[in-house]
């Protein structure tokens, strides 16, 4: 074994990126050490454990309490998603609790219970001796808006004002069309918000100003004017609409979206340190966690090379067999089919999953949908592969198990299966350890926007074990198609094969999103408005699936087998999905 620095420079670079990004994120979110970030736990009325990150400016104390803000994320996000709001408000002197909703992050399931956990968060924040209970503001994005509105319903005298982004009144027991509830109501709603229909009964984001629901909420009978202050802050009847030119998920990662929320908070409460709302630094924290995320992906691509130098994994060091895939014009037809299948099945198979009842094993609604989509795609692709192999000349042109990477040229080996399992688990576990250290040092994870690699709770780890097998099955079949059916050259450089496979893996979903968002930006409405949630959720797969293509290519090239890469992908993607989804089953104990 020779673990020289030069030979494994990219692996060491991955570790540098992970921890350098974490250090930058910590520097920004603590405002160079002037804000303490505490990982807190508290209980709901029913005794459920709730989770949050508490941002505490150094100027506040029990003797000099400061104003507080309860900041809550949207559906299938987590407390870290609210860090832009938390960073900007804490550097202005507010004590900010960025909490996990029920069933999200590290808060106990099920999702949607007890007002999404909002009343518990508000009670906890107001109970802190460093918070002025008469100066508490509520802020929520999307379903987080419903969370803080639920808190306002149950505790009508416990807050000063409220601002919701991409959200609405009139759901889950929250009154709609009330010009006096909630107190001092700020609304940030993007001109291209995908949920304009379900939130404010308008086909477009810009059109919500004309809806009866919004006008009644503002106490007017004419179109609501953006950026105009209606009512009185002193009387608690203030209303203001902000309409930045952005989409729903861009609310929490755009300068204009954050500025609007900060403006309303400062306008309706006693701001300890007034800073112009567009004076923002949170982007640097996001850049830091993006650097860590890039380091994490590089880790997955390079850690295995070091493992293969250990004698234990000697049997995995093989060269790929001669390519026997589709060639000439037929390759392009197969590529188009490969792009079309995931795009055409995404909405229908997710819709079928809605009928699956959650259980202690299959406890996450959307993850159940991803499993059905993945397994469905694997079965369709597998059947087409068999059709090509037996009926369309694949076998006659040299297609066999070794050419497809199912076995090596030496044939089947049970030891290779065992070593592949160990290899894949070791690569992903290594990244998990790096994440744990990064979180311990910097209270940061690996993320950018809607893509996040975060620590799993004990419950999420249990669910990981439930979901990892079907996802790995998908990546196994996916690898046979990429490296068997679609591998048409023996001389193509690995980097070029990796780029082609990344495009084949994620191109179909990218085209689906282009169809949806092309319509949104041209007409103000998605091409299929009823699929707004699944459209937003699909954004992550435009990145995750190409990464899986890179990983699969990397380890096929170094082992001649598809199984090691399939296990790395199965474990990694299952971890990413399970840790980032809502848990809907009501576990007891």
pLDDT above 70: residue 426: yes
Instruction: Return the structure tokens found at 18.
Output: 């992970």
CA-CA-CA-CA torsion for 55, 60, 62, 65, nearest 10 degrees? -90
Instruction: Return the structure tokens found at 85.
Output: 């709001």
Alpha carbons 219 and 179: distance in angstroms, whole number: 5
Alpha carbons 220 and 336: distance in angstroms, whole number: 53
Q: What pTM does this model have?
A: 0.95
Question: How much is the average pLDDT of 543-548?
Answer: 96
Question: How much is the average pLDDT of 131-140?
Answer: 97
Domain ranges of the chain: 32-280, 320-413+461-580
pLDDT above 80: residue 179: no
Alpha carbons 584 and 574: distance in angstroms, whole number: 17
Cα first-last separation, the chain:
48
Predicted pLDDT at 20: 98
3-state per-residue secondary structure call for 274-296 = CCCCCCCCHHHHHHHHHHHHHHH
pLDDT above 90: residue 485: no
pLDDT above 60: residue 462: yes
Whether 367 contacts 575, CB under 8 Å: no
Tens digit of pLDDT for each residue in 502-525?
A: 999 999 999 999 999 999 999 999
Fill in the DSSP letter of residue 482: I
Tens digit of pLDDT for each residue in 380-409?
A: 999 999 998 888 877 888 778 888 888 877
- What is the CATH number assigned to the segment(s) 32-280? 3.40.50.1820
| Burial class of 235 by CB neighbour count within 10 A (0 to 12, 13 to 18, 19+) | exposed
Whether 579 contacts 364, CB under 8 Å: no
User: What are the strands, taking DSSP E only, across 106-253?
Assistant: 131-141, 161-165, 185-188, 239-242
Predicted pLDDT at 6: 64
Whole-Å CA distances, 431 to 24, 297, 305, 438, 477? 19, 9, 14, 10, 24
């Amino acid at each position: 074994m020779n673990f020289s620095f030069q030979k494994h420079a990219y692996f060491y670079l991955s570790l540098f990126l992970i921890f350098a990004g974490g250090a930058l994120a910590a520097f920004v979110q603590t405002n160079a050490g002037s804000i303490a970030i505490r990982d807190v736990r508290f209980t709901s009325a029913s005794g459920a454990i709730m989770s949050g990150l508490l941002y505490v400016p150094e100027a506040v104390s029990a003797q000099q309490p400061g104003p507080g803000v309860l900041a809550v994320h949207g559906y299938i996000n987590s407390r870290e998603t609210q860090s832009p709001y938390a960073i900007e408000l804490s550097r202005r002197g507010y004590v900010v609790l960025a909490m996990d909703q029920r069933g999200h992050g590290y808060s106990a399931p099920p999702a949607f219970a007890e007002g999404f956990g909002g009343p518990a968060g508000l009670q906890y924040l107001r109970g802190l001796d460093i918070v002025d209970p008469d100066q508490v503001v509520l802020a929520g994005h999307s379903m987080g808006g419903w969370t803080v509105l639920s808190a306002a319903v149950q505790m009508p005298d416990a807050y000063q004002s409220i601002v919701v982004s991409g959200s609405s009144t009139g759901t889950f027991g929250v009154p709609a069309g009330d010009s006096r509830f909630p107190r001092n109501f700020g609304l940030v709603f993007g001109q291209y918000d995908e949920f304009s229909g379900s939130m404010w009964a308008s086909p477009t984001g810009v059109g919500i100003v004309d809806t009866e629901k919004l006008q009644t909420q503002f106490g007017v009978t004419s179109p609501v004017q953006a950026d105009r202050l209606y009512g009185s802050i002193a009387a608690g009847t203030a209303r203001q609409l902000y309409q930045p030119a952005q989409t729903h998920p861009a609310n929490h990662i755009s300068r204009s979206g954050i500025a609007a929320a900060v403006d309303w908070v400062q306008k309706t409460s006693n701001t300890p340190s007034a800073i112009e709302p567009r004076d923002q630094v949170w982007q640097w924290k996001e850049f830091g966690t993006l650097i860590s995320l890039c380091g994490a992906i590089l880790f997955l691509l390079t850690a295995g090379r070091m493992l293969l130098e250990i004698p234990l994994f000697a049997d995995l060091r093989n060269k790929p067999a001669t390519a026997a895939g589709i060639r000439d014009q037929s390759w392009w037809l197969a590529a188009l089919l490969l792009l079309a299948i995931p795009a055409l099945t995404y909405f229908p198979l997710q819709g079928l999953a809605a009928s699956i009842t959650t259980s202690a094993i299959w406890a996450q609604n959307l993850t159940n949908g991803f499993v059905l989509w993945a397994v469905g795609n694997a079965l369709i692709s597998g059947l087409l592969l068999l059709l090509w192999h037996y009926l369309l000349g694949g076998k006659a042109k040299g297609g066999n198990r070794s050419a497809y990477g199912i076995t090596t040229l030496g044939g089947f080996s049970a030891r290779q299966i065992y070593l592949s399992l160990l290899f894949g688990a070791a690569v992903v576990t290594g990244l998990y350890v790096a994440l744990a250290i990064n979180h311990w040092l910097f209270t940061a994870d690996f993320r950018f926007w809607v893509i996040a690699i975060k620590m799993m709770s004990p419950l999420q780890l249990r669910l990981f074990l439930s979901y990892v097998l079907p996802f790995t099955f998908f990546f196994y079949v996916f690898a046979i198609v990429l490296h068997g059916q679609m591998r048409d050259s023996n001389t193509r450089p690995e980097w070029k094969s990796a780029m082609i496979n990344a495009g084949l893996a994620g191109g179909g979903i990218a085209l689906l999103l282009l169809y949806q968002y092309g319509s949104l930006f041209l007409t103000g409405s998605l091409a299929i408005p009823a699929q707004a949630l699944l459209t937003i959720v699909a954004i992550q797969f435009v990145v995750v699936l190409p990464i899986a293509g890179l990983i699969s290519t990397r380890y096929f090239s170094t082992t001649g087998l598809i199984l090691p890469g399939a296990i790395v992908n199965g474990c990694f993607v299952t971890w990413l999905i399970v840790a980032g989804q809502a848990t809907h089953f009501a576990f007891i104990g």
